[in-house]
Amino acid sequence: MEIYNMSSEFNYPTEIKGTRKLYSLFKGIKNPLEVISENHKIAGDNYYIKANLNNKNFIFSQDKEFTEYILKQNHKNYYKSEIQSITLGKYLGNGLLTNNGKDWLKQRRLIQPGFSKTKIANLVSIMEEEIDQAFQSFQPEQDIDLYDFFHRLAFNIVAKTLFSSDIGENQVKELGKIITEVQEVFAKEVRLPFYSKILKALGIIEKTIEKSKKSKAIIQEVLDKRKSSGEEKNDLLDMLIQTKYEDTQLPMSDEQLVDEMLILFIAGHETTANALSFIFFEISQNPETEEKLKKEIADEGEMVFTSESLMKKSFTSNIIKEAMRLHSPAWAIDRQALENDRFKEYSWPKDTLIILYITGLHRNPKYWKDPDSFIPERFDDENAKDFTYYPFGAGPRLCIGEHFAMMEMALIIRKFYKKFSFLSYQTELEKKALVTLRPTSLKGKLVTI
């Protein structure tokens, strides 16, 4: 085996420096997708940038092998970066999204069974009820912003599947408002390290922490109500209350339960609502896709809304996958090196921040034919499982809610297109990259079939 002397000199990928670096650091705050994509065009699939302000090393990658090395082969050397574990953790606590190491693994093992295909299948009727109720308010030829509509719907679905009927509408609204405000502050803090000092001085960070405490208090209320009622609701909250750690046979503490519920709340509605907006936009721009989808809905007959039909490979699932390839809500994955490391000709020191640019991977012409075109049929390929495709991440930290999200989105799409059509007023989508990638709106007209 080749001996490599790490202490000599690290061999980073192509460096972005000079005026381009300054441009990247400042313009990247407002429009990270544009800047990162441009940098990859200039420097290739891997590049390096040093942020002198905080003396941090960043490696950006849209290379499949490099991504798999970080997320799978050598995942033990990589933690979620301090961007998530510390900066976001101070607002959201220690749930699956922000946790690292043994604590994370312990929680993951405990929660995983609640997201098995069988458990998710049991939630279809709760989802259906929420969707039907939301669609009842539709008027013929109504003008609508689907982005707002899907945020409310996905939020309510998560509230009901997590908490059954134990959470009131006002509490749901309040939680939604707090979660959006926390995200806005967090995004500023991460993009503008020097700005976080200003935010701190102005008391904004303190205020935001207070808001997140309020959101945890709402969840604690729901938890207290459930525990004192002694009722079994067969929802995710029941499952979380009843699970016990293998080693101690003790249940999760209330504090840990609340943190996990908050994370599931955020992850469970935010990414789904964004993905649905992108999916409906793409369907509205591709009439032949809509026609094929409606045919599948008709052909499925009475089975159309069953968990078996929703979870199997179908044209509906191809549409979801292709829209999430073009517009992945998880647009980047960040990791931090615990020790010095190397891959192929590159090497880097511990604490280097690795940004795996999922948006770039999903549109990299090296891996995709016609990368910017919407072609759901490409997922019919029998090799589709080996595609360079990571909307839910990869490796041990693959998103725990993947089955939940796929089933929920398939159900919403089929319920909608069985009765309605959507004419978009927009031919371009304006996107905003916060913690997740989201459109700013999706305005159009509902058409009843």
Nearest to 185 by CA among 104, 90, 277, 275: 90
Strands 56-61 and 443-448: unpaired
Judged by DSSP in three states, 337 sits in strand
Length of the chain: 449
Distances (CA, A) of 357 to 46, 67, 335, 401, 434: 10, 9, 11, 21, 14
Listing DSSP states for 1-17 in one string gives -----TTT----SEEP-
Question: In terms of DSSP H, where are the helices of 286-357?
Answer: 287-300, 307-311, 315-326
Cα distance between residue 405 and residue 158, in whole Å: 10
Under 8 Å between Cβ of 49 and 16? yes
Judged by DSSP in three states, 352 sits in coil
Cα distance between residue 215 and residue 178, in whole Å: 7
Under 8 Å between Cβ of 293 and 319? yes
- How is residue 331 written in tokens? 């647009």
Dihedral through CA 362, CA 368, CA 369, CA 370, nearest 10? 10
Nearest to 191 by CA among 48, 36, 364: 36
Judged by DSSP in three states, 48 sits in strand
Under 8 Å between Cβ of 87 and 188? no
Cα distance between residue 332 and residue 346, in whole Å: 21
Q: What H or E segment, with its residue span, contains residue 47? A: strand 46-51
Cα distance between residue 276 and residue 408, in whole Å: 10
- How is residue 362 written in tokens? 């999903």
Strands, E assignment, 81-218: 143-145
Place of tokens 């302000």: 53
Cα distance between residue 330 and residue 133, in whole Å: 29
Nearest to 159 by CA among 265, 252, 305, 6: 265
Confirm whether residue 399 is marked as ligand binding.
Answer: yes
Point out the annotated binding site for heme: 399
Point out the annotated binding site: 399
